[in-house]
Structure 1
């Protein structure tokens, strides 16, 4: 097992006066694949928001590579993470333009050549014709597969996957789970209710206060 990469330390959070997480602790080591489980609204996706620096817990700290998350390092943290949100409606317009726009950002250090894009689309049963479509014309499953493909093209070693297979059929769920867990150097935090993940991750962590 590699060194400690991510740490949630004594995280507590309340929604509408109700405590959802209390003194939650989790250490994630390089190369680990961890499934976060728990009831809806228990704070699983919120942990991703904290790690990405989009919000802060009521109390507690988040560390990345041993450093506490702060405005000084959050930009660097984000350039090391591929984040696939639960809501797949993250774009509009032409898909080719969408992909080109992502890879034009200065924070993205890799390029997406035509062959690489074609190869990863094919991996998830999408052909090149999808690039000429409008994002809004895709089905929910197509949107999920496209976002997963883009997350891989970013060539990062840390993945936050929030219900990444919810709109896929059983065979594709299994294919996606196997693809993301086969690389020993990648670190995965997954929120999912799909049993395909539970069978092949290193650890399953229950999130949320016990009732």
Structure 2
């Protein structure tokens, strides 16, 4: 589904990624694990077409990623990043804004379905009418996880999405995400709770960012 072929990326003449190879099969679950500053988030920025590789090829569904087919990937994907303050307004207003994006117009707002997710992630239904900016970091993460899993996309790109959660909730979120057999998932995290999960392909990136991963 996704393949990095000898991809390198430099910033200010310094390699952030060098000769990076990765194959991600449809339906697989991949964890990219390692310390800060070694290029993990750069992988997502390349994949979403926000930056271009200096060397190598990046493929999606066996075609080299370009300005045209990157929109196919973005339609198929959900990206949940480290930035939690994505918008102002109530949770309900933010949901409607997200569903009004062109790539999400086919998904109708089924409040009862969303509330089931809120309940599962231990959020009270009255959070819908709360100001998003007033929520704690953990509440914001759980709200965003609920909204974006509600969209039921094919590809999930998750950047440190459990960082503000307690240990019990980290495990609950991780196990929920890994249970979705039809989703292709790539996660970036420092959280130890991701490690040793069954069915998870773990990529531990080192300081030189060289290597091949399958």
TM-score, structure 2 normalization: 0.92
SS of match in other structure, 2:84: coil
Specify every segment of 5 or more residues in structure 1 that has no aligned partner in the other structure, as ranges. none
Q: CA deviation at 1:140?
A: 0.6
Q: CA deviation at 1:208?
A: 4.5
Q: CA RMSD of the aligned region, Å?
A: 1.4
Specify every segment of 5 or more residues in structure 2 that has no aligned partner in the other structure, as ranges. 210-214
- 173-182 or 154-163: bigger deviation: 154-163
Equivalent position of 1:174 in the other structure:
171
> 2:7·2:21 contact (CA, 8 Å) conserved in 1?
yes
Equivalent position of 2:70 in the other structure:
74
Separation in structure 1 between the aligned mates of residue 207 and residue 192 of structure 2, nearest angstrom: 22
TM-score, structure 1 normalization: 0.93
Asked if 1:62 corresponds to 2:63, the answer is no
Q: CA deviation at 1:7?
A: 0.7
Runs of 4+ with deviation above 3 angstroms: 208-211
Alignment of 1:11-30 (within 5 A): 11-30=7-26
Separation in structure 1 between the aligned mates of residue 124 and residue 193 of structure 2, nearest angstrom: 25
Equivalent position of 2:192 in the other structure:
195
Equivalent position of 2:144 in the other structure:
147
Separation in structure 2 between the aligned mates of residue 15 and residue 22 of structure 1, nearest angstrom: 12
Separation in structure 2 between the aligned mates of residue 127 and residue 208 of structure 1, nearest angstrom: 41
Q: 2:33 aligns with which of 14, 21, 37?
A: 37
Equivalent position of 2:204 in the other structure:
206
Report the count of equivalent residues: 207
